[in-house]
Amino acid sequence: MKKLKPESLMMSHGYKPELSVGSIKCPIFQTSTFEFESAEEGKRFFEMAYGHRKPAPNEEMGLIYSRINNPDLEILENRLCLWDEAEDAAVFESGMSAISTVMLEFLSPGDLLLMSSPVYGGTDHFSKHILDRFGIELMEFSAIDDVEAIRARLDASGKAHKLGLIHIETPANPTNAMIDLRAIADLAKSYSTDERKVITAVDNTYMGPLWQHPLKHGADLVLYSATKYIGGHSDLIAGAVLGSKELMTRVKTLRTFLGNMTSPYTGWLLMRSLETLKVRMDQQAVNAEKIAEFLHAHPLVETVYFPGIQRRHDKDLDALMKRQCNTNGAMISFDVVGGEKEAFTFLNALKLIKLAVSLGSTESLAQHPATMTHVDVSEEDRRLMNITGKLVRLSVGVENVDDLIWDVEQALSKIKSPAEAVEEAI
Ligand SMILES: *Cc1c(COP(=O)(O)O)cnc(C)c1O
């Protein structure tokens, strides 16, 4: 049989219609528990679920209870594996529960967590204000730091032997700074010993499962807020973790005891979403290229933070993008001429693009990082990362691109150019 592409398999993979009266779609298995055919069967399932015994060849784990397993979640997880070519996946009730479960599983009191900065605000809060209560130390590095500088800092800290987990986000939100995944995975390897493997976890939400595949570049785990591209319709909250069978067994075991798995209905919604993931993301990437080009040429836009524009003048970035990503993504940040006032004028004037946080959905969204998603970032870090009052972030959707450009253009036209502002003052 020909090896089919993930987009060809999203409608059927892992689902057996004959087990569900021929239904072409996987039903919602809205049930908390599953009936055993016999007491012996229930005993066998529990032995396997609790790892008291390895399954015999061809012996499959059966359904027990929806916190442990449910067909909607299992089929969804099998389908998610196809995009990243992962051995196993686990779906969670939010991106935050995926991230926090990984951190709790792979860090112990006294350990060091190495994390890129900026990261998602929830991740930042969890590592600084919750993990620290469990005696886990945090060391941060900037997305623009080179690996040798990070290594030097680790060595100087005297804590390198306690390094347990490296958590990174690339491209960094909101300015699209890129981190070299291979270099970070090699760093983790160089601090690993036979007894202690340093785990590299990559929050890949910003590129989704199509445009960057961290496992292929040496990462151990890839994490998603499935609320974003994977869900893609701004109608659910969910998360996912993917990796090797061995690591995922640990992640899934902790999920069973934290009880933060996806509900069957959300699992079903995500399967519906996966069927169109490729066509949605393809269109979003094409639209983003055109909008970035338009912004780049506009006199009231100073800087466009979009790899497709930035890589033209940055050979290293271009080489990294070629190695690591299939597209330039669909997230664009840009500085308007002026400051917060001008950025707000633009945001308030948008007619088609919605003013909201979140990203990766069918509809285009715009927001103001300095006062919204990144308001908790220290002022110094914000300055370092170019998150200033004039910065606007756009998540590009699947609308007609000429309509989107029309909207951006009419909203920019509401900003007074410096010349007009001077004229008015006189
Ligand atoms: C949204 C987001 C999260 C958190 O996901 P939730 O589904 O909202 O819990 C984590 N990381 C990134 C990069 C995100 O954009």
Domain residue ranges in the chain? 7-31+66-274, 278-425
* pLDDT at res. 175: 86
- Spacing, Cα 395 to ligand 1 middle (Å): 14
H or E segment and range at residue 304: strand 301-305
Confidence check: pLDDT of 200 > 80: yes
- Spacing, Cα 326 to ligand 1 middle (Å): 22
Q: What is the pLDDT of residues 103-158, one digit of tens each?
A: 999 999 999 999 999 899 899 999 999 999 999 999 999 888 889 999 999 999 99
Q: What is the pLDDT of residues 273-315, one digit of tens each?
A: 999 999 999 999 999 999 999 999 999 999 999 999 999 999 9
Give the three-class secondary structure for 380.
Answer: helix
- Spacing, Cα 125 to ligand 1 middle (Å): 12
Confidence check: pLDDT of 365 > 80: yes
- Residues flanking ligand 1, CB < 6 Å: 94-96, 120, 122, 169, 173, 203, 205-206, 225, 227-228, 237, 239
- Spacing, Cα 151 to ligand 1 middle (Å): 28
Give this prediction's pTM: 0.95
- Spacing, Cα 40 to ligand 1 middle (Å): 43
Asked whether 92 and 150 are in contact (CB, 8 A), the reply is: no
What is the C-alpha separation between 36 and 39, in angstroms, rounded?
7
What is the C-alpha separation between 141 and 103, in angstroms, rounded?
17
DSSP code of residue 357: S
What's the number of CA atoms in the CB half-sphere (13 Å) around residue 132? 9
Q: Closest ligand 1 atom to the C-alpha of 169?
A: 13
- Spacing, Cα 120 to ligand 1 middle (Å): 7
Q: Closest ligand 1 atom to the C-alpha of 99?
A: 10
To which residue do tokens 């995009």 refer?
83
Q: What is the pLDDT of residues 136-151, one digit of tens each?
A: 999 999 888 889 999 9
Residue nearest to atom 6 of ligand 1 (CA): 95
Mutate to test the pocket of ligand 1, among 225, 230, 269, 373 (most ligand atoms within 8 A of CB): 225
- Spacing, Cα 3 to ligand 1 middle (Å): 32
* CATH fold group of domain 7-31+66-274: Aspartate Aminotransferase; domain 2 (3.40.640)
- Spacing, Cα 227 to ligand 1 middle (Å): 7
Q: Closest ligand 1 atom to the C-alpha of 205?
A: 13
User: What secondary structure, in 3-state letters, does 9-62 show?
Assistant: HCCCCCCCHHHHCCCCCCCCCCCCECCCCCHHHHHHHHHHHCCCCCCCCCCCCC
Q: Closest ligand 1 atom to the C-alpha of 96?
A: 9
Mutate to test the pocket of ligand 1, among 205, 222, 223, 367 (most ligand atoms within 8 A of CB): 205
For residue 51, name the pLDDT band (cuts at 50, 70, 90).
confident
Which numeric CATH code is attached to 278-425? 3.90.1150.10
Q: What is the pLDDT of residues 2-19, one digit of tens each?
A: 999 999 999 999 999 999
Phi/psi region, residue 208 (left: phi>0; alpha: psi -120 to 50; beta: rest), is left
Give the three-class secondary structure for 252.
Answer: helix
- Spacing, Cα 238 to ligand 1 middle (Å): 9
Residue nearest to atom 11 of ligand 1 (CA): 120
Taking residues 82-86, report their average pLDDT: 98
Q: Closest ligand 1 atom to the C-alpha of 122?
A: 4
Residue nearest to atom 2 of ligand 1 (CA): 225
What is the C-alpha separation between 415 and 1, in angstroms, rounded?
58
Residue nearest to atom 5 of ligand 1 (CA): 95
- Spacing, Cα 269 to ligand 1 middle (Å): 18
- Spacing, Cα 95 to ligand 1 middle (Å): 5
Q: Where are any strands of DSSP class E within 63-129? A: 88-92, 112-117
